[in-house]
Structure 1
Amino acid sequence: MRPMHARNAFALLALLACALLLPGCASTGKGEALQRAQYAWSAAIRWGDFEGAWNLVDPEYREQNPLTDVALERYAQVQVSHYRELGAPPPSADGSVGRDIDIGVINRHTMAERGLRYRESWRWDETAGTWWNTAGLPDFWRGE
């Protein structure tokens, strides 16, 4: 990447971070915690930190669906080109919230890009004081 492009990309990233963080300054409690959790999740997925994202998955889900070394190796074979929020369905009666996402995925071996949609699902854990992703990592292969 040329130096000028790197500076422009950094400036754009800084502006985006500010834009995402400003609404959080006005909110408090669970809403702010949800914004922080979703921001951390989207950043981890976007930058290919699937182990980091896995730490944001509900412990019950992780226990029932352990992440194997083979699965982690599979995630290492893709690169996420974009991660865009499409909208959010209304909160569920149990208080869980969702977010619809459009993800671009590039196969590192073939350089073929494709898009998919993914629905995040989040639940508040009163004891831990945090939101957990209950949908697990995105399935970039959908049965392949």
Structure 2
Amino acid sequence: MRRIPSILAVLLSVLSLAGCASKARSDALTTTLNAYGSTLRWGDFQSAAQFIEPAIRAAHPLSKLDQARYRQVRVTEYDAGAGPVPTGDFDVQQTAQISLVNVHTQSERTIVDHQSWHYDEKTKHWWLTSGLPDITQD
């Protein structure tokens, strides 16, 4: 009977530590998504590529053609809508609408960017795993 209070104390300690960890993870996600959104709003796709998980970025570097395509557009709006949706303890998905203007034709269009983000516990960092927006979609 004496063990019940000590077991409860241990459980509460573990739960509060888990709560702190998830709060820190949530704060890091908010900071990362805001920074990524700001980077895209400025049309800085080169810097936005730094949000991609390093192993994915190394395996799939931006080609010269991709870089030229990104230079051909200007971002006029970035709307993350309802924000991130958890898909697991360390994964979220977010859908953003991005309005682009072609600098040569001045035509505007909107694309939908389905983002996947993963939290790396070792580095305490959120990484984009879905890559940069596909601006070639119609």
Residue in structure 1 matched with residue 30 of structure 2 by the alignment:
35
% identity of equivalent residues: 35
TM-score (norm 1): 0.74
Q: Deviations over 1:84-113 (max 9, x none)?
A: 112246412353101111110110000000
Measured after TM superposition, the shift of residue 80 of structure 1 is 0.6
Within the alignment, does 1:136 sit opposite 2:120 as a pair?
Answer: no
Larger Rg: 1 or 2?
2
Q: Unmatched 5+ residue regions in structure 2?
A: 1-21
Q: What CA distance in whole angstroms lies between the structure 2 residues aligned with 1:129 and 1:36? A: 12
Residue in structure 2 matched with residue 108 of structure 1 by the alignment:
103
Within the alignment, does 1:53 sit opposite 2:61 as a pair?
Answer: no
Residue in structure 1 matched with residue 11 of structure 2 by the alignment:
none
Q: 1:89 to 1:44 in 2, by over 3 A?
A: closer
Within the alignment, does 1:119 sit opposite 2:85 as a pair?
Answer: no
The number of equivalent residue pairs is: 117
Alignment RMSD, CA only? Answer: 1.8
Measured after TM superposition, the shift of residue 116 of structure 1 is 1.4
Q: What CA distance in whole angstroms lies between the structure 2 residues aligned with 1:89 and 1:48? A: 21
TM-score (norm 2): 0.77
Q: What CA distance in whole angstroms lies between the structure 2 residues aligned with 1:90 and 1:100? A: 9
